A and B are shown apart, each in its own frame.
Chain A
Amino acid sequence: NAGVMQNPRHLVRRRGQEARLRCSPMKGHSHVYWYRQLPEEGLKFMVYLQKENIIDESGMPKERFSAEFPKEGPSILRIQQVVRGDSAAYFCASSPPDSPIDTQYFGPGTRLTVL
């Protein structure tokens, strides 16, 4: 049973380009969370999604960042017009529906480097 899948694992973009990060949750999981880990900093919550719904995007920067989790296909975190400060590791986590503990399992992450 595959775990949480993320791709690409490494992504290099020049300033002003767009970055698209993909996440496929574990089989049977319908809740997806995105976290960002800046160099030498802790993990910070960005957004929580269920299929076709954004439940909580309180951790997302107000501009340039968006996320979706369509009915079919992976969840996408999109960063438009990237800047050097966006360089970080972006982790996706998933949890099963109706889990009383909301235990989240993390994918391998996408390491974004902005030149």
Chain B
Amino acid sequence: QKEVEQNSGPLSVPEGAIASLNCTYSDRGSQSFFWYRQYSGKSPELIMFIYSNGDKEDGRFTAQLNKASQYVSLLIRDSQPSDSATYLCAVTGDYKLSFGAGTTVTVRA
């Protein structure tokens, strides 16, 4: 079983819609959870982190964490063409980030 799994995608959404990305993890000792965005050929860019159960909002992005279900998600509201990228879920219990394979999002204009 992979440590971190993401919905495989690709995910195509129309401009202005909500993009919903899901991630599950296997290590119950995980404490911190991150979402990174990676444009093709570029490096991962931190979007958000969350470490408490519940929702965390930052602009058009909302991260949701449910430790009992070992589930973390990212919602992108009012999706823009510039949001087209691969989104990486990362989980850590100490310092070592374990990444999912990523979900590629395409926002159609």
Interface residues of A (CB under 8 A from B): 31, 33, 35, 41-45, 48, 55-56, 58-59, 91, 93, 95, 101-109
Contact = CB atoms under 8 A, between A and B. Distances in A.
Contacts of A42: 88, 99-102
B70 to A, nearest CB: 18
Nearest to B93: A102
Contact of A31 (B32, B92, B95, B100): B95
Contacts of A45: 96-98
A101 B49 contact: yes
Contacts of B34: 103-104
A104 B97 contact: yes
Contact of A105 (B46, B94, B99): B46
Interface in B29-55: 32, 34, 36, 42-46, 49, 51
A103 B44 contact: no
Contacts of A104: 34, 46, 97
A108 B97 contact: no
Interface of B: 32, 34, 36, 42-46, 49, 51, 88, 90, 92, 94-102
26 contacts: A31-B95, A33-B96, A33-B97, A42-B88, A42-B102, A43-B44, A43-B90, A43-B97, A45-B97, A48-B95, A48-B96, A55-B95, A56-B95, A56-B96, A59-B96, A91-B44, A95-B95, A101-B32, A103-B49, A105-B46, A106-B36, A106-B43, A106-B46, A108-B43, A109-B42, A109-B43
A109 B49 CA distance: 22
A112 B98 CA distance: 22
A103 B88 CA distance: 14
4 shortest A-B CB distances, which residue pairs?
A43-B99, A106-B43, A42-B101, A42-B99
Given A42-B88, A45-B98, A103 B51 contact: no
Nearest to A44: B99
